[in-house]
């Protein structure tokens, strides 16, 4: 079992628009590539994240743009597995998927590992399919790390870590879950909301 999300298709025009938007995102990142701090308020408490544009520039730029646009506000943690991961950033409380921009290139070969407290990108079986969904590791999940550049070995890109509020992540990981027709197992019985996400300037 690995972090994942439903697959989707896109046309060449959409890909081109996505590429242009992505290049603009990279230009918008601070030239110093200093860590970016993010405040994530959930219905169970606050998390503070530190993102690493020096290690995962495309991934951080992508995440920051979603944050600045308000994309994550009102979404939920839709996949919760105690002692493993909590995953969010794609679905609202009604389990409807929010439309996303084009996927970002997988930067899992950046030397960062899926250890407890890190934040990484969820994706489909396509290594380069991550868009908005992310997960937070509740334990050391080294099997999710980059091994090689084969489809099975690419791994999942770590791009930051929780610096405050890991107890909130653990609390989210402990909520009761159930099976749903749309998303299968591991969906919280009571929605855990991502109330708002902001860049700490």
Q: Read off the pLDDT of residues 67-107 as tens digits, 9 standing for 90 and up.
A: 999 999 999 999 999 999 999 999 999 999 999 999 999 99
Over residues 139-161, the mean pLDDT reads 97
* Residue with tokens 């929780």, as numbered in its chain: 162
pLDDT interval class at 9 (50, 70, 90): very low
Please state, as a whole number, how many other Cβ atoms lie within 10 Å of the Cβ of residue 199.
Answer: 12
pTM attached to this predicted model:
0.86
Classify residue 54 as left (phi > 0), alpha (psi -120 to 50) or beta.
Answer: alpha
Q: What pLDDT, on a 0 to 100 scale, did the predictor assign at position 1? A: 40
Indicate the SS3 state at residue 59: helix
Domains and CATH numbers, the chain: 34-200 (2.40.100.10)
Q: How far is CA 62 from the centre of its chain?
A: 10
Q: Read off the pLDDT of residues 25-39 as tens digits, 9 standing for 90 and up.
A: 554 444 458 999 999
Provide the β-strand partners of residue 178: 187
């Amino acid at each position: 079992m690995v972090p994942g999300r439903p697959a989707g298709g896109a046309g060449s025009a959409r890909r081109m628009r996505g590429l242009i938007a992505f290049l603009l995102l990279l230009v918008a990142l601070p030239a110093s590539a200093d860590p970016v701090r993010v405040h994530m308020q959930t219905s169970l408490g606050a998390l503070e994240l530190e993102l690493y544009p020096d290690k995962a520039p495309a991934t951080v730029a992508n995440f920051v743009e979603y944050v600045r646009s308000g994309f994550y506000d009102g979404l939920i943690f839709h996949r919760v597995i105690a002692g493993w991961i909590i995953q969010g950033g794609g679905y609202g409380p009604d389990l409807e998927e929010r439309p996303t921009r084009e996927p970002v290139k997988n930067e899992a070969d950046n030397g960062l590992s899926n250890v407890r407290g890190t934040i990484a990108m969820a994706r489909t079986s396509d290594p380069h399919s991550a868009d908005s969904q992310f997960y937070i590791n509740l334990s050391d999940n080294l099997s999710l790390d980059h091994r090689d550049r084969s489809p099975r070995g690419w791994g999942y890109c770590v791009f930051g870590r929780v610096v405050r509020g890991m107890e909130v992540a653990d609390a989210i990981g402990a909520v009761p879950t159930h099976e749903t027709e749309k998303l299968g197992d591991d969906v919280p019985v009571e929605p855990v909301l991502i109330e708002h996400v902001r860049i700490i300037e």
